[in-house]
Amino acid sequence: MITIYHNPRCSKSRDALALLRQHDTQPLNVIEYLKSPPTADELSAILAKLKIPARQLLRTTEAEYSKLQLENQALTDRQLVDAMVAHPKLIERPIVINGERAAIGRPLSNISAIL
């Protein structure tokens, strides 16, 4: 099963969902992460599949990023994960998971690489 962490208001996320539906090879699990944010454990597992540190999943242009002073390099991955769980707008989108592989759909070719 392929899972997409999706924001229907985001054009890149909509494009990623359309790409996945075109492939139509597996069941598709669509999670609107602003309505149903991942838990800290789920987000940590996603980061492991993406093979990136938490900081690389942050949307630095969101107001919460500055408000929470997340630019502070002394913050641990766990602290950043906790911030993203509490404020899911901070999570970069879309995220697509296919088994043990995952990709951030910017650019869309990242998703094609894991299908």
Q: How does pLDDT run along the chain (115 residues), one tens digit per residue?
A: 999 999 999 999 999 999 999 887 677 999 999 999 999 999 999 999 999 999 999 999 999 999 999 999 999 999 999 999 999 999 999 999 999 999 999 999 999 999 8
Residue 44 has what pLDDT? 98
Sheet holding 28-32, edge to edge: 28-32, 2-6, 95-98, 101-104
pLDDT for the residue 55: 98
Catalytic residue among 10, 30, 52, 115: 10
Contact 35, 9 (CB under 8 A): no
Smallest CA-to-CA distance from 62 within 80, 36, 88 is with 88
Q: Active-site residue 72, yes or no? A: no
pLDDT of residue 70: 98
In contact, 57 and 104? CB cutoff 8 Å: yes
The confidence score (pLDDT) of residue 27 equals 74
Whole-number pLDDT of residue 15: 95
What integer pLDDT is reported at residue 25 of this predicted model?
Answer: 60
Q: Domains in the chain, please, with CATH? A: 2-112 (3.40.30.10)
Q: What is the pLDDT of residue 79?
A: 98
Give the per-residue pLDDT at 67.
Answer: 97
Burial class (CB in 10 A: 0-12, 13-18, 19+), 78: exposed
